[in-house]
Each structure stands twice: as C-alpha cells, then as structure tokens.
Structure 1
Amino acid sequence: MTEGTTPAASLGYAECVRRFEAAREAAAALSSVLWQASGADLAAGLEALGELSAACEGAEAAVTVEAIDRGEPGCSSPPQTPREWVVAHHRRYAVAGASRLVDVAQACRQPSNHILREAVVIGRVSVDAAQVALKEMRLLAPHLNPDAVDTVWDALMTLGERHDARTVRQLRERLLAAHGVDDAFDDTEDKARVGASLSAGKEIAPGLFEYLLRVTREGRAMLEAAIGPQSAPTPGPDGEPDERPVEQRRADALIAVIGRALTAGDSTWSSTKTQVFVGIALADLQTRQGRTRPASEHTDGGLGVPGAGTLLGALTSGDLVTPDTVRRWACDATIIPTVLNTCGEVVDLGRATRLFTPAQVKRLWLRDRHCTYPGCDAPAAWTDAHHLTHWADGGPSDLANAALLCPRHHTIVHSRRLHGHVTTDHHGRQHVTWDLTRRSYDSALDSMDRHRAPPQTRSG
C-alpha cells in the first residue's frame, strides 16, 4: 500500500463509488497524455488498466449478487427481472451480456459454489470464464466423487484465470478421468460411440465425392495411427518436392490403407494392425470391479493421467483414452504401452510376447471360424484375436487363452468385462463359451485368485 492510500477494508460504499468516478475520469483523460509516457510507462499503464478492469468486473458481479439477494429487481417500478435490472443500470451490458452476469451471480449465491464466488468477486476470473466453468461443472458434477468437487472447482478457476474458454472445456475429460465415479470416463466413450457415423458419398464436383465421418476418441487415435505415417510429404520420382496440400496427402493415405486391407483379402495380416503409443498407470490397467484406487496409486503426471491412458506422438498426442480401450488394444494391435508405477516411472510387466503370431491367428481361424460372441457369425477375416484372460492381468498369448471377436463384440466384451473360456465337447472339438453377465470377468479373476496356490516356502 502506498503512502496516503486508505486500506480497502475501511472504505465505505459511498467512498468506493466516488473512487470509481475518479478512476473513470482518469481513464477518459489518459489518451490525451499518452505522449508523456515512456515505453515502460505504457506497459505499466496497460497492466494497471487490466487489473482495474478485472477488479471492476468482479465488483459488478458482487453488486448483482447483493441486489438479487435483497430483491431489488422486483422492487423496481415497474418490477424487473434480474437481467432487466442489470441492463437498466449498466450501459455496457446488452441483453446477452446481462444474462451471463446474472447467470453467474445466481450461481455465486449458492453456498456449494463458494470457490466460484471467491474467484469472481475479486476479479480473479472473468464473468465469461466463470460462465464456461459453471457450464462445465454442471456437466461434470453428477459424475464426480463428492469429495472431489472442490478440487475440480479449484482446477476450473485456475484454468479460467490463465486461459480462454476453449481450454477450460478441454479440461473436462482429464477431470472426469481423475475424479469421476467408477466408469464415468468409460461411459463417455460408450455414449460417443452411438454418434459415430460415415455418410454416403456426395458428389460435389465432377468425379469428386465428399464424406462426413464422425469417430470416437478411440477411432480418431486408430485413424491417425494408420494414416499419419503415410501422409508425410514424399519427393517425386525426380526428387521434386511434394506439393500436395496436407488434406490431399491425408486422403491419399486413407485410400492407400484401405487398398492394402482389400488386397489382404482373407489372409492374415503380415504385420499388426496399427501402432499407438500410450502412457497409463499400472493401477488403471489392472483395475477391476470393486477395487478402489487409493490416492497413493495416482501417478505424479509423468506420462499418465489418473484414470486414463494418454496418447503419445502424432496429432493425437495428449488425448485421453479409457483403460478399457487400452486393454482391448493390448489384445490385437501394436500398442506400445508405457506402463507407469506410482512414482511415474516406467515398469515392465515381464512378458516379451504379447501379440498373437500370424500362425496362431491362422489356427484360431480354423478353430473358431467366426466371431465367438453368441449369435454373431462375422467371418474370421473381420475379427481380432482376444486374450480371454487379459494381457494386463497376466494372460498368455496362446491358443488356450484366445478367442476371435469382431470389433463390435470385442468392444462389448471389454466394456462389459465379460468372461470367456475354451471348452471341449464330446467330439473333442474346442469352443469358446461366454458368460454374458456384466463383470463376469472380474468374478472369474477373483475366483482364480482364491484358488491360486500360495507360494511355497523353503524349510530349513
């Protein structure tokens, strides 16, 4: 505090208003005396104006909260709504702006939103950023652990103070993964999957067709992993630079990938289907029903985000995928799982062979013939090789632990955590039998844990 100033706490309301008027007069006169300022003075002046603007917006919210608490809009003549009251008394607020201010002010009146109120009334976050954070919290709150609500509010306020509204929205999935109730983050993937679509081609120019594609987080990661390396610029036959725009290179890469798949026909893939790098905590990879993740198992953020896998490299770097997606990829894709312990250090699960070999896949085609999910007859060439006991839970990559599943049922088996096992009929033929009870896989793991013999100790 500079000499001669009055502590803010001792100022009366009338004195505050008088100083607002003085600040307005100073701001109005500033343009006529800018010639007196050095470059450093201009920077200092802009910083002071920014602080004043933030403090004023916070004060506007505080005044609006107080007016609504007292019922002032309804006591006006004629009676007004809170929005109309703001428009009538604030020259800068149009109807839309007044609605934002009132929406935030109404939320600040709720005791459960005390963190929001503290951040708004002191000007820490703008009304616009507060409204975005409020909308995000309304979406997140039903899916959060109750004891994490204040933590999420703090995160939204910190981000709103430093970043724009778009960045605040991007925090949603990370907060849901780290602080959501069981399966909350997984549910977003399940709901998004319903919206995935590919339109029929529409001719927009002679010989040129337009498709509209909507995919989930998982679909985007798989798509980018498939076409990313193929869409890099390549020199022409005489070494000339590749002048194709990036959109054309990506389209060419997609057609090339589809062409290779068509050429493969009914043969097994000579290499695995995609390559994705992902960081995930060991505790998340091995999570099963009823297992609560203690705070000590959260990584320090090294490569992993608690409750999710984090994609690494290419255009999808930093995007999140659900643990179920990572477990499914570990069955039949060249996923490079960077598995982290509680300190964020990379750990090794100890099995060098994770994927089924082409020879094993051919034998599975002969044994299972089609997707093994009850009622599905998708041909073997359309299927993935699934680990009945997941690789993350110690399941080996051998035929006794394998089953063919089409992509749709592979997703269902992992998301519903269904258990399957290989049985032999009286003719000596092997079949895969599925228990379609939700979480039957977790029950089977618990049973295996109970029946597993304790380690023997040496005597003497």
Structure 2
Amino acid sequence: METLGELSAVAEGAEAAITIEALDRGEPALQAPPQTAREWVSAHHRRYAVAGASRLVRVAEACRESRHRILRDAVVSGRVSIGTAQVALSEMRLLKPHLNPEAVDSVWEGLMTLGECHDARTVRRLREELLARYGAEGSLDDSEERAARGVSLSSGKEIAPGLWEYLLRISRSGRAVLEAAIGPLSAPAPVDGEPDLRPHDQRRAEALIAVIGRAQAAGDRTWSSTKAQVFVTVSLEDLQRRAGSGRLLGGLTTGELATPETVRRWACDATIIPTVLGSRGEVVDLGRAERWFTPAQIKRLWLRDRHCTYPGCDAPASWCDAHHLVHWADGGATDITNAALLCQRHHTAVHTQRFHGWLDRDHHGGEQVVWDRTRGAYDHALARLDSGLDRASGDDTHHRR
C-alpha cells in the first residue's frame, strides 16, 4: 500500500507536469475543433471527471506563473497532491492581501511542507496561525472584526411537534465565551450513582438554556457569581504591542487563537486569567480575578453612568461591561475613575476603532464620560500620557498601575 501510494503521488505529479507543458505549447487550442484546457484533460485522461479535470487545470495554470515556483516544485515532484495544492491556492488568495510582503515565500513553504504530510483540511485550519505570525499589523484583529459582522441567530423553525431548530453563527471570540459558559454545565452529571445518559448535544443545549435562565433570574441586580472563566496565554510583548495572538486553553476551544484586541477587551470586565509569558515562554505572571472590577464597583458605575456611555446608546446598565478608559494592559487602574459602562457592541467598537474616553466633571460636580470617536484617538492619548502631557479634564482617569 505504501508503494502504491508513492506511485500514485508520482503519477499525479507527472499529470500536472504534462498539463503544464500542454498549456505552455497551446495544445488545447490546436485540436480540431479547439478545446478548453479542461476539455483537453478530460479527453486524454479517461479517469478524470469534469470536476477533477477542472481542479488539475487550475493548479497547472497557477504553476505556470513565475511567482508560484515553490508550488510548482511541490506539485510536479508529487510531494503535494493536486487537491491539497488547490486548497493552498485558495488559502493564499485569502491571506496574501493581509501578509507582510517579505513573508509570502515563507508562507508558501510552510503550506507546502504541511501539505506533504497532512490533508487539505489541516492546511485550511492553518489560516489563522499564519495570519497571526506573518500578517501585517492588525490583520488578525481585522479578520475578527469582519467575522463579527456575520454573527447571526435565526428566529427558529419547528422541525417536529414541540421541537425547534435555531441556526447560530458566531465569531471566534464569541465562541470562546460561549464554550466557557456552557462547558462546565454540559459535563455528564450522574444522579445517585446512575450515569448521565443524555447525548452530548442535548447536554450542551440544556446548559445554554440554564445560562440564559440564570441571566434572567439576575434581572437588574449585579451578578453575584463570577463570569465564565476563559484561560488565555499571551506573550507580554504581544499584549503591549497589540500584535501576534493569544491562545485559548481549556474546553473545546483549546489551542484556538484570540486576537490581541479581543484579549485586551476581555481584560476589562470578565474573569480572564491572563498567563503572561516571557521571551523564552516562561510564565511571567499568572493573573488573579481580583484585578477586575468588583460587584461593589459595578454598582457605583450603574449609579453614575445609568446606561451605556457611548454617544446615542441607552442600553441599560445591566447589559453593560465595565471598560478601562486606560486599558489594563497599558497600566490603567481598576478604579471607577478609570471606568465607563459600555454595552457589548460598543465595547467591541471602542477597542477595535481605538476610541478614547475620559471622565469629565461639570461645575456642579457631576461626572460623565466623554468619547473622542476619532479612529486611533486612544493611541494619541496614550502617547501624551507617556510623555507627561494630558487633558486637564481627564487627569483623574489616568492613574497608572
């Protein structure tokens, strides 16, 4: 079987080489009547169906381009299959606009090396890893922002008497939070020594309903229990530079990536346990949940802000997160003078667009959060902080840790 597998790979590489040569010589057009490249392959290779011929032609045409030398060598030698090469081409088409130009060859070599030992599905799963390692600054964050625009939940349809089906589309960060919330509740729960015979999917659905029930029971009260815990490992440099990525630990999302801005947003108001790694991978700091805003602080924010502080939004306080005006990762204190209520939607927007907010006081002692919604305003404000300059009205918001 191993010998036949090797022979099959060599034969497929030879088919690609012959197709490349035929295209170079213009063979399809010389036929009577003239043929397309796909028709030519189908006519000369009786085992190729239409779909297979089209796939071979697409790969062969790509291999003819000088910029695809690495791809051509891998395919013609039989090291990488036609199917895997096609997936690699699709992945590069998606990735290339977001990669550092000098990293393109390295990414090609990585895809081809992986393709030698793994199937097309594994190559496809490498996309986010490559984007985090070789992408231009902010490219992984941009991919999360684009994915967030596709988040949806259908209104449900009845598929059997009393049984409804919903379709949920969720982003990478949303999936991490969802799995952290329902994971512990969906574990098998034996009763009086009797095993839990519920199917896996049923346990997950009932866990989701239980989480929703707890949220409804809380009403407008401050939550009395901690939020779902998400473990994220991230290098100190990546956290400070908003580069690279964090890696999730625990549950079904173990090994998956979290964008830098997602980690920073989570660090505002969730029981995130940041495991900060040094340059050699050693644990520099294992954070404590006590660093985050306490229920008492949240109540005071509810009284002060009343609702989401983003201009024009009146989402109630109980729907909001407590956001660090000067981010925790940048040294911001976990204090209500450095905090503002933001609903989930605007909390995400503030982080991704890098908006800047500060606490302003009027002549009567009233306080309100003011937002500069210029993209990148937060970075300019942080630069002023680091240089010792700041708004006179915002001094109290910028205590450093």
CA RMSD of aligned residues (A): 1.7
The percentage of aligned residue pairs carrying the same residue is: 71
State how 1:345-384 maps to structure 2 within 5 Å: 345-348=282-285, 353-384=290-321
Q: CA deviation at 1:352?
A: 7.9
Task: Check if 1:104 corresponds to 2:41.
Answer: no
State how 1:105-144 maps to structure 2 within 5 Å: 105-144=60-99
Task: Check if 1:63 corresponds to 2:18.
Answer: yes
**What's the counterpart of residue 43 of structure 1?**
none
Equivalent residue letter for 1:441:
Y
Equivalent residue letter for 2:149:
V
**What's the counterpart of residue 270 of structure 2?**
333
TM-score (norm 1): 0.82
**What's the counterpart of residue 378 of structure 2?**
441
Q: Determine the C-alpha separation between the residues in 2 that align with 1:57 and 1:350.
A: 53
Task: Check if 1:258 corresponds to 2:212.
Answer: yes
Deviations 1:139-163 (A, max 9, x none): 1111111001011101111121111
TM-score (norm 2): 0.94
Q: CA deviation at 1:251?
A: 1.3
Q: CA deviation at 1:225?
A: 0.4
State how 1:259-298 maps to structure 2 within 5 Å: 259-287=213-241
Task: Check if 1:196 corresponds to 2:133.
Answer: no
Three-state SS of the structure 2 residue aligned to 1:203 is: strand
Equivalent residue letter for 1:148:
A
Give the conservation status (yes or no) of the 8 Å contact 2:148–2:170. Answer: yes
Q: Determine the C-alpha separation between the residues in 2 that align with 1:79 and 1:211.
A: 51
Task: Check if 1:401 corresponds to 2:355.
Answer: no
Tell me the matched-pair count: 390
Equivalent residue letter for 2:379:
D
Q: CA deviation at 1:353?
A: 4.2
Q: CA deviation at 1:344?
A: 1.6
Q: CA deviation at 1:423?
A: 1.2
Three-state SS of the structure 2 residue aligned to 1:242 is: coil
Equivalent residue letter for 2:7:
L
Gaps of 5+ in 2: 390-401
Query: Residue 353 of structure 2 is aligned with which of 392, 416, 438?
Result: 416
Q: Which of the pair has more CA radius of gyration?
A: 1
Q: Determine the C-alpha separation between the residues in 1 that align with 2:167 and 2:52.
A: 35
Q: CA deviation at 1:425?
A: 0.5
Q: 1:350 to 1:175 in 2, by over 3 A?
A: closer
Q: 1:188 to 1:352 in 2, by over 3 A?
A: closer
Give the conservation status (yes or no) of the 8 Å contact 1:230–1:253. Answer: yes
Q: CA deviation at 1:204?
A: 2.4
Equivalent residue letter for 2:30:
C
**What's the counterpart of residue 392 of structure 2?**
none
Q: Determine the C-alpha separation between the residues in 1 that align with 2:157 and 2:124.
A: 33
Gaps of 5+ in 1: 1-45, 294-306, 453-460
Q: Determine the C-alpha separation between the residues in 1 that align with 2:216 and 2:134.
A: 43
Q: CA deviation at 1:208?
A: 2.2
Give the conservation status (yes or no) of the 8 Å contact 2:274–2:286. Answer: no
Equivalent residue letter for 2:336:
L
